[in-house]
Amino acid sequence: MKTCPNGQELKFVLNNQVVELSASADKTLLQAVRELGLTGTKEGCASGDCGACTVMVGEQSGDEIRYHTINACIAPVEQQAGKHVVTVEGLQSGDVLHPAQREMVNCHGSQCGFCTPGFVMSLATLVEQGAPAEREEVLQGISGNLCRCTGYRPIVEAGLKALQAPFQQPIEGAGLLQSLESFEATSVLQPTTEPELQAAISQQSGAGLIAGGTDLMLEVTQRYQSMPTLIDVSNVESLKSVHEVDGSLVIGAAVPYTELETLFAARSEPFVSLLHRLGSRQIRNSGTLGGNLANGSPIADTPPVLIALDARIELVNTAGESRMLSVQDFYKGYRDTDLGGDEYVARIHIPVQSLDAFHRFYKSSKRLEDDISSVMGAFLFEGSANEITGARVAYGGMAATPVRLAAVEDALVGEKPDAGLIAEVVSMIASQMTPLTDVRASAEYRSAMAASMLERALLEFTGEDRPVITEVQLHA
């Protein structure tokens, strides 16, 4: 466990100063920095959706400090123990503006200015990361930032120009990080090994687990729940690592999505494309597969993907005993999973064979980025255009849990995926699931999208890659 000699205060570097404070587990970083007088960081939505509260967080990684963005409104301040938090006040070096600030001025990237500190932090982080001066990089970097008045063209232009300009000044305060030799977060316990995590879970009965906090902290900011103590899994080294064992890719439950984008870059284009649409850059810098699964939501994006890939979840209890179960067996009912009170999600095992097979993941949502799915379809097919020898068909957003459609799979396996078979299985969809009508989509729309996604996947499998939302399906 990371500890501080006096055992009382949380310590981190805030811009160019070491800060010590005490806070409850549910106090957000946004509240803390604003109380410290740094009011440049704004609160727009308090739910991770608008990016007005974006700050840069640096963590020591070997000899270097790596920076990424987070939404301060849903990040517990105690989770920042031992890190370098940079707010918009910390970018300027004397009279010299950071390139992100300078180019926002030069490109007229601000009107009312409320969103501007958040955009500046997202762009500045790209500069600090040495990102290439490419439009796609800038778009991904600001995918969690909303602007209601300026429009995005000048902001994107500012980002590109900032990335083209060499940056001379290091971020002030970075050198202080090494002076935080030891630290403690008193109300967010920070085990660094699995035995420490197991001990913390047994000793702190009732304390919840937190990884990225991108689901959990909304309970605090949107539902006003109080969480005096939390156990943070995001410092447990073995839960942050990835390795390949016995033909499976074994992914620690606390690996953030941004790292998964790199991991899957050469292994699964469909998964990477989906990750680019999961939340925003800020959300993906914090959010994890473990949190997505354990949250038990029927509209989470990755459970259908993991079902289609035949992944298994490794759960470990406080005695260090582990058990494996399939992702579909993990879900018992609406927001109800098989996770025991003394267990945590440790790892996700994905067969490499599945990644080598044909697979497609389609997400339907109202916005391209930073939006929850109305329907999520995940498909894996083996065989050829003459005969399907294996099929896995899974959906999110269509029932109280993520679902796998065994009847559709059975109808496909052993058959030639010709127009007749495709029409037959597509027509089965409406009778297999009874989705809800809610603010995101009507039940009819969901069924039509689910059918259309299956048809599209099969057409792509057979080599007929074309758009396929038919009138018949939309009015089914």
Ligand X SMILES: Cc1cc2nc3c(=O)[nH]c(=O)nc-3n(C[C@H](O)[C@H](O)[C@H](O)COP(=O)(O)OP(=O)(O)OC[C@H]3O[C@@H](n4cnc5c(N)ncnc54)[C@H](O)[C@@H]3O)c2cc1C
Give me the residues that bind ligand X (CB under 6 A), please.
Answer: 47-49, 208-216, 233, 253, 278-279, 283, 286-288, 290-292, 294-295, 300-301, 339, 344-345, 370, 372
Q: Does 49 bind ligand FES (CB under 6 A)?
A: yes
- Which of 27/456 has CB closer to ligand FES? 27
279's contact among ligand FES, ligand X, none, with CB below 5 to 8 A by partner kind, is ligand X
Give Cα 59 to chain centroid, integer Å. 18
Q: Does 48 bind ligand FES (CB under 6 A)?
A: yes
The residue from 9, 43, 342, 424 that contacts ligand FES (CB under 6 A) is 43
412's contact among ligand FES, ligand X, none, with CB below 5 to 8 A by partner kind, is none
The residue from 93, 102, 114, 229 that contacts ligand FES (CB under 6 A) is 114
The residue from 69, 71, 198, 292 that contacts ligand FES (CB under 6 A) is 71
DSSP-derived pairing of the beta strands 388-396 and 336-337 = unpaired
- Which of 71/248 has CB closer to ligand FES? 71
- Which of 178/225 has CB closer to ligand X? 225
Give least dist CB 146 to ligand X, A: 11
- Which of 38/73 has CB closer to ligand FES? 73
326 touches 354 (CB < 8 A): no
- Which of 53/120 has CB closer to ligand X? 53
Spatial separation of the C-alpha atoms in residues 41 and 51, rounded to whole Å: 10
120 touches 105 (CB < 8 A): no
44's contact among ligand FES, ligand X, none, with CB below 5 to 8 A by partner kind, is ligand FES
Q: What type of residue sits at position 2?
A: K
Quick check: helix, strand or coil at residue 329? Answer: helix
288's contact among ligand FES, ligand X, none, with CB below 5 to 8 A by partner kind, is ligand X
- Cross-strand pairs, 66: 59
291's contact among ligand X, ligand FES, none, with CB below 5 to 8 A by partner kind, is ligand X
Give least dist CB 71 to ligand X, A: 7
What DSSP character marks residue 109?
-
300's contact among ligand FES, ligand X, none, with CB below 5 to 8 A by partner kind, is ligand X
307's contact among ligand X, ligand FES, none, with CB below 5 to 8 A by partner kind, is none
- Which of 138/388 has CB closer to ligand FES? 138
348 touches 288 (CB < 8 A): no
Quick check: helix, strand or coil at residue 349? Answer: strand
Spatial separation of the C-alpha atoms in residues 126 and 159, rounded to whole Å: 8
Q: Does 111 bind ligand FES (CB under 6 A)?
A: yes
What DSSP character marks residue 167?
P
Instruction: Give the interface size with ligand FES as a residue count (CB under 6 A).
Output: 23
Sheet holding 17-21, edge to edge: 17-21, 10-14, 84-86, 54-61, 64-71
Q: Does 75 bind ligand FES (CB under 6 A)?
A: no
45's contact among ligand X, ligand FES, none, with CB below 5 to 8 A by partner kind, is ligand FES
- Which of 280/462 has CB closer to ligand X? 280
Spatial separation of the C-alpha atoms in residues 75 and 48, rounded to whole Å: 9
Comparing C-alpha atoms, which of 50, 157, 31 is closest to residue 114? 50
Give least dist CB 216 to ligand X, A: 3
Residues 119-178 that bind ligand FES (CB under 6 A): 147-150
Q: What type of residue sits at position 324?
A: M
Give least dist CB 109 to ligand FES, A: 8
DSSP-derived pairing of the beta strands 312-317 and 343-351 = antiparallel
Q: What type of residue sits at position 327?
A: V
- List all residues 6 or more positions away from 173 whose beta carbon is below 8 Å from its beta carbon: 13, 14, 15, 16, 17, 84, 86, 90
**Pair of tokens at residue 59:** 């963590």
DSSP-derived pairing of the beta strands 64-71 and 84-86 = unpaired
State the residues that interact with ligand FES by CB under 6 A: 43-46, 48-53, 71, 73, 110-116, 147-150
